[in-house]
Chains A and B, each alone.
Chain A
Amino acid sequence: MTPPQLHIRLLGPLEVLDGDARLELPPSKKARALLAYLAVTGRPHARGALCDLFWPEVNDPRAGLRWALSKLRGVVHDGERRPICAGRNQVELAVDAVDVDLHRVQSVVSGDPAAASTEALSEAIRAFRGDFAEGLDVPGCHQYEAWCLGTRERLRNLRLSIHATLAGRLRNDPDEALSHALSRLSLDPFSEEAYIAAMDLLAEAGRVDQGMALYERCRRMLSEDLGVPPSDELRSARRRLRTQPRPVPTTKVARSTDPDGTDGLAGALAELPSPEHLPAPEDDEPPLVGRTSELTSLVWVIERSLSDEAGGLALVVGEAGIGKTRLLREYVQKVRAAGGWVLSGPVFETEAVRPYGPWADMLRQVPEGAFDRETRSGLSGLLEHTGSKPDPDGPAERAQLFDAVARLLRRVVEARTPGLVVLDDIQWLDTSSIALLHYVTRTLASTPLVLALAARGEEIASGSAVARMLRSLDETDRLVRVLLQRLDASDTETLVHAVDAELDPTQIFATSEGNPLFTLAVASSVREGIHRTPANIEEELRDRLERLEPGARSLLPWAAALGRAFDVPTLVQVVERPTHAIVEAIGSLERSGILRATGADRFDFTHSLLRQAAYGQPSEPVRRQIHRSIAGTLDAADRSGGRMPGAVAHHAELGGLSEVAAGAYVEAAEECLWVFAFDEAATMVERGLSEVATLPDEARIPLEIRLLQLHTFRSMEAGRPEGLEARIRQVTEEARRQGLRQAVARGHACLMELEYQRGAYDEAGRNSLLSAEAGRDGEPATAARTLAETATCLLLLDQAPEEARRLGSEALRLAAEHGEEIDVVALAGALLHHYEGELEKASADFRQVIRLGRRHKDRWWELPAMTRMIMVELDRGEPDHARERARETEKLAEQMDDAVEAAFARGLGAIAGERVRIGENLTQDGPGGMDALTAALHDLRELDSLWRIGHVQAYAAEVELQQGHVDAARPRVAEALEVARTLQRPSLLALARALWARCDAMEGDLESAARHLNTPEITQPEHRLARRARVGIEQAWAAAEGKTP
């Protein structure tokens, strides 16, 4: 069968597609750059010339070229398709056999784009995904760099002139023409000509405001960046804009989108309910009073946005209780009544440390049809709260996350308008959410999306991130500020009479001074026959809570301390009262207007001032107890599902549970890093550190190192505290004195990371293994080796696998980039793959270690690699291969006089043999196999090699259990367990525990099995366990739940 056609895409980041499937390219930049070069030139090149181009200062450039070609062949060759022709002297990519986007574009737009047809140009421009070979610069390869830059510049100019030609030709399709003019402008932001072209198109479309904004931008660019005044041409374009008639804005909120109603996304958006925290006003609620002009302003923002097809931005400002949320609720209903959609996420005061919390809550409401694969992957860190970490291959930086949010919103608003995004109480918004909000307003300025924000003006600190953002939004002409004033006497009267027509509004107005919430509260009191004059709204609300019946009142501090909307089951767990009592109390609070239902089983305070009043009710020690109880409940919930480490940390800190708080801060900071919220991460680390200060050493040291480690990540470099390295050294030394081995390992890894970052390879080497060989500062091969050796060491000892992964990946990257093949780098890769259960890759890597050792006549790692390969074959369920490998290994170990590895291989070989026998049903109890195993174990005990004994016994126990021999398995598991404890190996310990539980389950003691599976070694291991242990745990759970015999 002929393989599908190969597509090489160079107009953007390099991509190679096999039919529709994207192929994984070699990580080495040089190899990729070589492919790009061969694809563009499409002719034969002398090997020497390619060596000069890509390996100018390497001892054996031909080896580098050979290696790169071998990697490329592995990707692009498939059966009969073999486009890389590498002869003895020449190398060529047969471009007639592949589809190269660059050649396609050049064939339709040869020379002057003006000579090409519009269709051809439209097709050509679609091929551009970015600059030529984006990111494929290879520093140090000067000849190649010069060629790459030249090609890039040439293609950029071609792209610009295609956009310009299309913008000129598509005058009958103004939107399309404008889109080309704006694309041209974004590619060439210093071109006055590009500005003029876009302004003229906007003038023709009657979009004067946008045209003027563009003029302003250009004028500022000319004056600030180039120091020149606007040219005559630019001024003329401005005049042309001014003479255009202004279009009359639509007077009603319009409904656009698909006329036939078949568009699934548009339909789903029409079905979108009101946000839970901005519900439609109920019939028995007082009406909105005295806000007609404010509501009109908000509606106008929508109208303008629709008529201009540009973004709208409204900010509602006013004091607490003035009716901002009430106004927004009315606004939401207007938009929905016009067929539009509204998205919003609640902002809570206590959640200022949950990065992007309101955005995440909001985006989870977006209909599924709006997400494509790329958006879903870009937002995985933000939207997934499944208890596992988000996709590690997800967005590599914050910009990508932001871009994914903007793309999603654009898609939604393109499917249906009007579209409104609401963020209430932005004075409590976390800094990351603010940055994202800012990004969205700027990026979607030309999309008819309206953002409505509301804030308590007095609570926005000057200089805060919110204040800075608002100042910058003020500079655009799109922001409409709606300032809510207090009601006058007449409006207050209307409001009071809505509560009770019999009430006298004069005294109430005198007390509330026109604050609507205060007015309503006082009116309710007066109606109940209570006549007093509270000094302020807070006092009135406190009094109101005091008057509640005791059962309901005593529940309030708990509900308030939760800090956000809550569900009944959580409250039942936290308060430890019977469900019926809680439900009764909630009902009473709902009737009193203190709480309101926000969804099935969910409730929230009707106003945040009420939450604050309720929180202030109990004394400080009682509040402490409440937080303590909430922390305990949330922490327990964490283990089984939705993680909320930020909330656990918050409550544990307020409850005085320092150890729980610090642990939760580590997790919360890690979550922040996943979503690139570096400032919040740093804040959490600092909070965690202040929590650990009072803990006893044994608890403090591991937590302190974990917290400090977060500062060592490259992404945290900007906010790194002074003296970090010295502090890590000191805590590592303390850990050593206390015998806390995992903490010592982590400490060394941190120091190594810091030293590696500042390029001190010799120091890094001392913190890893090889100070002597790492002496040649700065050599990539040395750095790769040093990193790989540390990764190897950590993995062999089952310590800090996350650090090992980072170090190992960096080593692999460095080695690949410089065309180096190093045995210990391959070993680190093999151990990582084995740890993660990627057994095929592990096996290939181990074979590579052996090959490299033999090639370089340095067989230091050959035997350990061979014994590990036996384990990999056993894990793969290939006992035949394992037995064969064991025989070879044993022979070699004896030749090399290594009694330990020989005994280990013999033991593993015996187990493999036993598994072969079971598989072939040869005999039930193969005496020979188990005798050999006993002998091997005897030798390992003589040699005192506990780690190997532990693993052999764990494998042997599995074989025994496979045959139902629980009695025979028990002592083996017991020994594995003891070994794991002595050596402090978390994965072996968890595996042995799980095997013990399996024994229990097979004997029918399911309770004991479940107890073992719920021990901390399994539920809260020191780090992510090896795949083998995780599989063992799954098997044990299956047995404990009666799913397997």
Chain B
Amino acid sequence: MAHVILERSFDPPLTDETFGELGARLSPCLDRSGVRWIRSHMSRDRRRLICEFEAPDAGAVRDALQQARLEHERVWSGELVEP
């Protein structure tokens, strides 16, 4: 399994409601693609979002976003480095 990162920015800033809606929209697609959402980081101004997934590949996350009609700036896979 790969560690996959999604980056996206928002203008206007993201509300809790929109965030919930995005999650609901994406969740079945992720399930079907074998992707697990680990966590997300949201900037204080709510304009930037970084999500972490465990997935077979970055393509699986991208394709799930495509199917859920969700835009993104970057999706990439990488290694987890911890202190």
Binding site for B on A (CB under 8 A): 736, 739, 741, 744-745, 748, 766-772, 789, 792-794, 796-797, 799, 860, 864, 900, 943-948, 982-984
Contacts and interface: CB of A to CB of B under 8 A. Distances in A.
B44 interface: no
Nearest to B33: A797
Given A748-B28, A793-B29, 6 more contacts: A748-B32, A770-B25, A796-B67, A944-B4, A944-B59, A983-B34
A695 to B, nearest CB: 23
Interface in B4-29: 4, 21, 24-25, 28-29
10 contacts: A770-B25, A771-B21, A793-B67, A799-B32, A860-B66, A900-B59, A944-B4, A946-B59, A946-B60, A983-B56
A797 B60 CA distance: 9
Given A769-B68, A792-B67, A796-B67, A944 B32 contact: no
Contacts of A789: 67
B24 A771 contact: yes
B22 to A, nearest CB: 9
Nearest to A940: B59
Given A744-B32, A793-B29, A793-B32, A770 B69 contact: yes
B59 A745 contact: no
Contacts of B34: 739, 741, 983-984
Interface string B55-71: 01111101100111100
Contacts of A864: 66
Given A736-B31, A748-B28, A772-B25, A982 B56 contact: yes
Contacts of B56: 946, 982-983
Contact of A744 (B31, B57, B69): B31
Given A736-B31, A745-B32, A943 B58 contact: yes
Contact of B59 (A748, A766, A799, A943): A943
Interface string B31-60: 111100000000000000000000011111
B38 to A, nearest CB: 15
Given A796-B67, A945-B58, A982-B56, A772 B21 contact: yes
Contacts of B58: 943-945
Contacts of A739: 34
Nearest to A800: B32
B32 A946 contact: no
A513 B62 CA distance: 82
A1003 B34 CA distance: 37
Contacts of A766: 24, 28
Contacts of B66: 860, 864
Nearest to A984: B34
A671 B62 CA distance: 39
Contacts of B60: 946-947, 983
B31 A748 contact: yes
A770 B57 CA distance: 23
Nearest to A794: B32
Nearest to A981: B56
Contacts of B2: 944
Given A744-B31, A768-B28, A771-B24, A944 B76 contact: yes
Contacts of A797: 32-33, 63
B25 A946 contact: no
Nearest to A863: B66
**A-B residue pairs, 8 tightest by C-beta:** A945-B59, A944-B58, A946-B57, A944-B77, A944-B57, A793-B67, A741-B34, A745-B32
Contacts of A768: 28
Contacts of B21: 771-772
Contacts of B28: 748, 766-769, 793
B9 to A, nearest CB: 15
A603 B44 CA distance: 82
A992 to B, nearest CB: 16
A864 B67 CA distance: 10
Contacts of A772: 21, 25
A594 B44 CA distance: 88
A747 B7 CA distance: 30
A789 B31 CA distance: 15
Contact of B69 (A767, A794, A860, A943): A860
Nearest to B66: A864
Max chain A CB contacts within 10 Å: which of B24, B32, B34, B59? B32
B24 A741 contact: no
B61 to A, nearest CB: 9
Contacts of B32: 741, 744-745, 748, 793-794, 797, 799
A743 to B, nearest CB: 11
Contacts of A945: 57-59, 62
Contacts of A793: 28-29, 32, 67
A42 to B, nearest CB: 47
B74 to A, nearest CB: 10
Nearest to B55: A944
A984 B32 CA distance: 11
Nearest to B32: A745
A87 to B, nearest CB: 41
Contact of A948 (B4, B59, B67, B68): B59
B59 to A, nearest CB: 3
Contacts of B33: 741, 797
Max chain B CB contacts within 10 Å: which of A748, A794, A797? A797
A605 B66 CA distance: 64
A768 B76 CA distance: 25
Contacts of A900: 59, 62
Contacts of A794: 32
Max chain B CB contacts within 10 Å: which of A741, A944, A946? A944
A946 B33 CA distance: 12
A530 B28 CA distance: 75
A901 to B, nearest CB: 10
A748 B32 CA distance: 9
Nearest to B78: A944
Contact of A982 (B4, B29, B57, B76): B57
A792 B56 CA distance: 20
Nearest to B26: A769
Contacts of A860: 66, 69
Contacts of B62: 900, 945
B66 to A, nearest CB: 7
A860 B70 CA distance: 10
Contacts of B69: 769-770, 860
Contacts of A741: 31-34
Contacts of B29: 769, 793
A736 B57 CA distance: 18
A947 B31 contact: no
A856 to B, nearest CB: 14
Given A739-B34, A748-B32, A769 B57 contact: no
Nearest to A824: B69
A984 B4 CA distance: 18
Contacts of B63: 796-797, 947
A794 B64 CA distance: 11
Contacts of A799: 32
A635 B62 CA distance: 42
Given A948-B59, A982-B56, A769 B25 contact: yes
A984 B34 CA distance: 9
A770 B22 CA distance: 10
Nearest to B62: A900
Contacts of B76: 944
Nearest to A900: B62
A948 B4 CA distance: 17
A866 to B, nearest CB: 13
A744 to B, nearest CB: 5
A656 B38 CA distance: 42
A320 to B, nearest CB: 56
Contacts of B31: 736, 741, 744-745, 748
Nearest to B2: A944
A748 B28 CA distance: 8
A951 B23 CA distance: 30
A1039 B63 CA distance: 36
